[in-house]
Chains A and B, each alone.
Chain A
Amino acid sequence: MDQISPVLWQFLRKWLEHFALFPPEASTVAPESDALFFFMVLVSLIGLTIVVLLIVAFSILYSKKRHPHAVQIEGSTLLEATWTIIPLGLFLVMFVWGALLYFRIYTPPANAMNIYVVGKQWMWKAEHPGGQHEINALHIPVGRPIQVTLISQDVFHSFSIPAFRVKREAIPGRYTTVWFQATAVGTYHLFCTQYCGTNHSQMIGDVIVMTPEDYKKWLESSTSGNSMAQDGERLFASLSCSACHNARPDARGPSLANVYNARLTLSSGQTITADEGYLRDAILNPSEHITQGYAPIMPTYKGQISEEGVIALVEYIKNLDSDYRVQQTTNTTDLLPDGEGGKAAPAAKAPAAQKGANP
């Protein structure tokens, strides 16, 4: 075989080494997603086989040579009903199964650890609650539900981890979320799958799934010194937010303690839940999000704070009701999701799981 051109030989070898046919299954939803996928492949193969068999069989049996005179047939209500109802039934099974999967992928569990990811041309910036920042990489522990809250700073991007079978658009101007729980340690692709301009195909990174011990080490070695909430607190002070939002009786703005996930009545009469999206809108576009009973005097901060800054502020406000500073200094890494049940809003627990900041 050496007579074959060595170039060709090398080419073949390289091919075989780089020949992938099926992506790794590295999250809890991946096998569930693949189960539905293979069910659909099976149904499709059966359907395709039936169609091809019908065409081939009829072509042989009723070719002009064998069957010179066609027999005219109007149709058959029974047959037509059969091939209306059976596909419809199968499609409905797929619909229900798919919907269950969809709700599972897009409904994060209450104990999920929240990581913010900002997409921008052409990189992914991940912000961990403990203040760790990374670009085009995402370090996560195995076996722990992770919620990713996404936003884009410019155009549509899409956060895709094929090995986890999850994907979510990062949209400018609003938060979207997705969650996953990795099941296998390793490095996986992180892609931007929504076309976003020149270097769309360079907007890729690695998801690094680590054992809890390695993850703890990584958190310790990568911290910037301040948790995200502390960054937010600093920003809160430097933007003079506390001049109004200070919880004093004569304060011009509402107190922000416990505001996260509270039901608020706005001056428009509308009732909303103060989630991350609301907090973001209220900072950037306050005049349309005034709480009832307060004058619309807050200036807009649009264009003055980066998306990362807004995230830090939101994270700070979310944690105002907790003694997050105490927790961060005393409680280092409490990685176990269990035993964390608490009275406060679930997401507020996220920083508790983080590595403490070095003072």
Chain B
Amino acid sequence: MSTSTILSLPDQSTARIPRMNFLTKENGLLSWLLTGDHKRIATLYLISITFFFFIGGALAGLIRLELLTPQTSLMAADTYNKVFTMHGIIMIFFFLVPSVPATLGNFLIPMMIGAKDLALPKVNLLSWYLYIIGGAMGVYVMASGGVDTGWTFTTPLSTHYVNTHVISTAMAAFIAGFSSVFTGLNFIVTIHKMRCPGMTWFRLPLFVWANYAASILMVLGTPVLAITLVLVMLERAFGIGVFDPAKGGDPILFQHLFWFYSHPAVYIMILPGMGVISEVISTFSRKRVFGYTAVAFSSVAIAVFGFFVWAHHMFIMGISNYAALIFSLLTMLVAVPSAIKIFNWAFTLYKGSITFETPMLYAFGFMGLFTIGGLTGVFLGTTGTDIHLTETYFIVAHFHFVMVGGMLMAFLSGIHFWWPKWTGRMYPEKISQLAAIVTFIGFNFTFFPQFILGMLGMPRRYAAYPPEFQALNVFSTAGASILGVGYLLPILYLTWSLKYGAVAGDNPWQATGLEWQTQSPPLTENFTEIPIMDHEAYDYEWLEKQDLAKQQPGKEVASVG
């Protein structure tokens, strides 16, 4: 084995997946559908969000195909409107919001803090069912003709003017919202109450801090969305005038309420992803995260400031100029903790001992793309430039850099990183490194031209556009096809690895988290005995001492390096 990897696998000729683990404990469909095990629920989530990701991705493919030509040549304008609306709704409510917290968070948080399960296992299962009911309604809406309000449900368009399934869609998002509230609640209670002996707040892995911050946002923000959607449904069904000025309502009120949730929702999506990056960067550079406290508190700072910036979505909507000033200033303040994180991660590499396995490649991709996504956010948070750039492809590119370039890269990084823990088997390294690079290249080809399109003034949500925008749109569509390949590859090789991957052993990455101190895949109870945390997070020297201690009395430890 070369020295360019930290991978340490058990001897493949003798290694076996432990006979007893959370996957094999019970068999049969019911044992899965009625499970209280956080790892099984995480697995259910992983399968279901992958399903929704591919629906959303297929819709994205349709959007890019339509935009190959300036005319509406592939589908009618109405169809296009439905396609981008469903793409947004599915990706946001059924993929991005639950992606890292409900899969990786669910799987890892109890193990990382040394607990047997989440505090409320039945509520955890309920969350998944709510998610599935919401998702099923989403699929029903799509199958029965779709909805064309845009994922933003802008009133009075959504309450009076469109003739599609607004109420079912709002209901789907409403129900899925409760899934997210319950998950957040569960995480908060678990992190407060179920840490193992010695696991102080400042020994928590940064992934736990990030999910904690996101949970606060889920619990406090999502109810506002729920209320707003109920009001939309009431206005649409019974004509109660809340938002429609023709009925005496105020359409600006809707914008305030909607963005009061939907801006923090952006942080619900990205914060857990940032948690993944902290774990991965630390492990593959064999170093503590630089400035642990700053990174931990920056998550909380983002969560707190994130609640006070919503009106930066409304700079051109006739809010008072002075209100715009205040919200712009607060937006600048929320940009700072993100900058802190980026530099802290970069300096975690300093004097480390770096290897470049797939999770690390995705993490590097995250850092570059999130930096671009974050900085272009400042263009939009600045009142003067927002006027020209908002509602154009600039904003589309900006949030795809953050959500796809940031969040999705982090998700894939995390999936690869914890795949051996989850399944007990390694993914194939070479092809997955290739997939990471293909994804990065495809991503930039797809979304970078959209910044230029936005500067040129091309409006978002246009089925047809003036011909001078075509060249850049063709670039973007070409990039999307590369990106599509980048996302299909992991599905193939990860499925392959379930049967043929190398047996991973307990701690293939020589990482320090408690989740690596138990078998892979873990037992249903996670640990054979309650662990005691006697070292700081990311203490690689402690790990080395452990290994030495193990090697001297016995010789059960496999080859290192």
Contact = CB atoms under 8 A, between A and B. Distances in A.
Interface in B452-502: 452, 455-457, 459-472, 474
Interface string B533-558: 00000001100000000000000000
B328 A22 contact: no
With most chain A CB atoms within 10 A of its CB, the pick from B290, B324, B368, B471 is: B471
B557 to A, nearest CB: 19
Interface in B137-159: 148, 150, 152, 154, 156-157
Nearest to B334: A91
Contacts of A174: 245, 318
Contacts of B81: 195, 197-198, 200
A18 B468 contact: yes
A80 interface: yes
A226 interface: no
B548 to A, nearest CB: 14
A43 B371 CA distance: 12
B384 A62 contact: no
A48 interface: yes
B375 interface: yes
Contacts of A67: 351-354
A97 B350 contact: no
Given A156-B251, A192-B459, A201 B371 contact: no
A72 B161 contact: no
Contact of A54 (B78, B285, B349, B351): B349
A101 B288 contact: no
B364 A55 contact: yes
A33 B388 contact: yes
The prevalent SS among residues of B at the interface is helix
A107 B387 CA distance: 13
Given A72-B541, A84-B336, A173-B245, A36 B384 contact: yes
Interface of A: 15-16, 18-23, 33, 36-37, 40, 43-44, 47-48, 51-52, 54-55, 58-59, 62-65, 67-76, 79-80, 83-84, 87-88, 91-92, 94-95, 97-107, 121, 154-156, 158, 160, 162-163, 165-169, 171-174, 176, 189, 191-202, 204
Interface of B: 3-6, 72, 77-78, 81, 148, 150, 152, 154, 156-157, 161-162, 244-246, 250-252, 285-288, 290-294, 315-318, 321, 324-325, 328-329, 332-333, 335-336, 339-340, 342-344, 346-347, 349-356, 364, 367-368, 371-372, 375-376, 378-379, 382-388, 390-392, 452, 455-457, 459-472, 474, 540-541
Given A69-B286, A101-B387, 17 more contacts: A15-B470, A22-B456, A37-B455, A44-B378, A51-B367, A58-B346, A62-B351, A64-B6, A70-B540, A80-B340, A87-B339, A99-B383, A107-B321, A169-B318, A192-B459, A202-B464, A204-B466
Task: List the 4 shortest-distance A-B pairs measured between CB atoms, nearest first.
Answer: A162-B457, A101-B384, A173-B245, A98-B382
